[in-house]
């Protein structure tokens, strides 16, 4: 029997790329499989190198809210590309995208484009430190804010997937000013503030945790963080790289009616292309160079192709406002999955906020990093493999979020649930 092309491509990739992948979670190690090499994708569907079709619940880790290769996005990219792929100089497109973001996020009075979520959060933290003239930051166990050195302390995402609490190559000195507290635990935050309050520059949080699996904020948690930051003149940073324009036009800030001082964005605002942004109160953002003392720069920031794609997506979201429809579809999927799991041995718990969700293979509730870590990753691997074999693609990690797009249909939901109902755990 001929070897699958996916496997051939993987064997070739490891000859030139560490682990054969350019991001660890793509390795599929956590689900005991080989990487999936994509040939093409359209709407809710993805096709691998062997021609297998999948209903895709990864959707580029939430970036493709309109699904893969949406005609509006493809057309915008094509029109921009023929004019030039990058200039290293300003274009009107950057301002147009910025104005759309400001329209959705009232807390953002000025913003700057960057090239990734990692860069956005790294820059926002530097800005908070420069503005407050303080060094320490508070972050939460299991929340992932990119791979900059000071934030790889008790981070989520791939680090949780692979059981790594920190990363080699990061000196203790880089994380010595990072104070770690449990997510959804205001008392723990207050205890740290009581000890270090005058030295704390910012509190950095995913308003809806999505990198240890989806975990919503407890009632009063975000409001409490807002009050604590106000009491010590610290900067509240919401990492909305995943939730921005995904949960609502105004992200988690709109959903929970809590404003951040600084907001980081990514994923959706680039239409599936590499992008990030950070913005917030005018007096803070004006501390950035060239007008202020905090340096930040990027040759490719505000790239015209990326900006064009982002404008196309955000205009669609403003005009069509598809959130009720996509959230309702996600609710139907959640309900049907819950009912199907009742007839399958083992404990499962589903957390969902809007169109993003996680199936935890443990007895719930899952409210923080420690309860998420109770999940049976071996059981999730069996589930993932069975679904993949049935043409359903969930994230290759227990600790990542699944996403719906506007391209998913009720037929996709029925196909997914039918695959779960037919899952034989003993195979």
Confidence (pLDDT) at 2: 57
Q: Please, are residues 364 and 349 in contact by the beta-carbon 8 Å criterion?
A: yes
Write the secondary structure of the chain as one string of H (helix), E (strand) and C (coil).
Answer: CCCCHHHHHHHHHCCCCHHHCCCHHHHCHHHCCCCCCEEEEEECEEEECCCCEEEECCCCCCCCCCCECCHHHHHHHHHHHCCCCCCCCCCHHHHHHHHHHHHHCCCCCEEEEECCHHHHHHHHHHHHHHHHCCCEEEEECCCCCCCCHHHCCCCCCHHHHCCCCCCCCCCHHHHCCEEEECCCCHHHHHHHHHHHHHHEEEEEECCCECCCCCECCCCCHHHHHHHHHHHHCCEEEEECCCCECCCECCHHHHHHCCCCCEEEECHHHHCCCCCEEEEECHHHHCCECCCCCECCCCCCCCCHHHHHHHHHHHHHHHHHCCHHHHHHHHHHHHHHHHHHHCCCCCCCEEEEECCEEEEECCCCCCCCHHHHCCCCHHHHHHHHHHHHHCCEECCCCCCCCEECCCCCCHHHHHHHHHHHHCCCCCC
Give me the catalytic one of 139, 154, 255, 267.
Answer: 267
pLDDT beneath 70, residues of the chain: 1-2, 149, 153-167, 169, 171, 427
Domain 71-320 in this protein, CATH class? alpha beta
- Name the one residue in this structure whose structure tokens are 């930040």: 296
For residue 361, give the nearest of 417, 344, 336, 56 by alpha carbon. Answer: 344
Alpha-carbon distance of 137 to 323, in angstroms, equals: 33
95's CB contacts (< 8 A; 6+ apart) are none
Does the annotation mark 144 as catalytic?
A: yes
Give me the catalytic one of 56, 239, 327, 368.
Answer: 239
Give me the catalytic one of 131, 144, 183, 316.
Answer: 144
pTM here is: 0.94
Axis crossing angle, helix 92-104 with helix 304-320, rounded to the nearest 10: 30
Enumerate the β-bridge partners of residue 46. Answer: 41, 54
**Is the CATH number of domain 5-69+322-421 3.90.1150.10?**
yes
Query: What percent of the chain lies above the pLDDT cut of 90?
Result: 88
Domain boundary assignment for the chain: 5-69+322-421, 71-320
Confidence (pLDDT) at 345: 72
Alpha carbon 274 to chain centroid distance? 13
Residue 300 tokens read as 């490719």
Q: Please, are residues 259 and 235 in contact by the beta-carbon 8 Å criterion?
A: no
Confidence (pLDDT) at 176: 84
For residue 128, give the nearest of 199, 231, 196, 202 by alpha carbon. Answer: 202
Instruction: Name the phi and psi angles at 221, rounded to 5.
Output: -65, -50
Residue 378 tokens read as 């071996």
Does the annotation mark 239 as catalytic?
A: yes
Residue 141 tokens read as 């166990």
Alpha-carbon distance of 10 to 226, in angstroms, equals: 47
- Name the one residue in this structure whose structure tokens are 């005991």: 32
Does the annotation mark 233 as catalytic?
A: no
Q: Please, are residues 263 and 98 in contact by the beta-carbon 8 Å criterion?
A: no
């Amino acid at each position: 029997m001929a070897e699958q092309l996916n496997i051939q491509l993987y064997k070739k990739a490891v000859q030139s790329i560490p682990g054969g992948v350019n991001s660890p979670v793509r390795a599929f190690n956590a689900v005991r499989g080989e990487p999936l090499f994509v040939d093409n994708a359209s709407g809710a569907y993805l096709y691998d190198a062997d021609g297998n079709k999948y209903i895709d619940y990864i959707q580029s880790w939430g970036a493709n809210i309109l699904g893969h290769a949406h005609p509006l996005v493809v057309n915008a990219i094509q029109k921009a590309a023929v004019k030039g792929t990058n200039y290293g100089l300003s274009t009107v497109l950057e301002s147009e995208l910025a104005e759309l973001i400001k329209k959705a996020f009232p807390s953002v009075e000025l913003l700057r484009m960057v090239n990734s979520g990692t860069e956005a959060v790294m820059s926002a933290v530097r800005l908070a430190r420069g503005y407050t003239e303080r060094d320490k930051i508070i972050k939460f166990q299991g929340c992932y804010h990119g791979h900059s050195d000071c934030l790889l302390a008790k981070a989520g995402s791939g680090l949780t997937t692979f059981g790594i609490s920190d990363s080699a190559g990061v000196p203790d000195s880089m994380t010595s000013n990072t104070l770690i507290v449990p997510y959804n635990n205001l008392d723990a935050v207050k205890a740290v503030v009581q000890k270090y309050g005058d030295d704390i520059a910012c509190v950095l949080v995913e308003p809806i945790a999505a990198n240890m699996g989806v975990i919503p904020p407890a009632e009063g948690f975000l409001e409490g963080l807002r009050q604590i930051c106000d009491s010590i003149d610290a900067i509240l940073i919401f990492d909305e790289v995943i939730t921005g324009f995904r949960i609502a036009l105004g992200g988690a800030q709109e959903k929970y009616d809590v404003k951040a001082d600084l907001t980081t964005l990514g994923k959706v605002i680039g239409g599936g292309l590499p992008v990030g942004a950070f913005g917030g109160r005018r007096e803070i953002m004006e501390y950035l160079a060239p007008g202020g003392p905090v340096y930040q720069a990027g040759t490719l920031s505000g790239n015209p192709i990326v900006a064009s794609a982002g404008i196309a997506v955000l205009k669609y979201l403003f005009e069509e406002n598809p959130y009720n429809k996509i959230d309702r579809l996600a609710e139907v999927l959640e309900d049907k999955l819950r009912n199907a799991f009742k007839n399958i041995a083992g404990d499962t718990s589903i957390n969902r906020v809007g169109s993003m969700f996680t199936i935890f293979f443990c007895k719930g509730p899952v409210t923080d990093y420690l309860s998420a870590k109770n999940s049976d990753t071996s059981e999730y691997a069996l589930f993932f493999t069975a679904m993949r074999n049935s043409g359903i693609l969930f994230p290759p990690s227990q600790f990542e979020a699944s996403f719906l797009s506007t391209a998913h249909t009720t037929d996709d939901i029925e196909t997914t649930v039918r695959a779960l109902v037919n899952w034989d755990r003993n195979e």
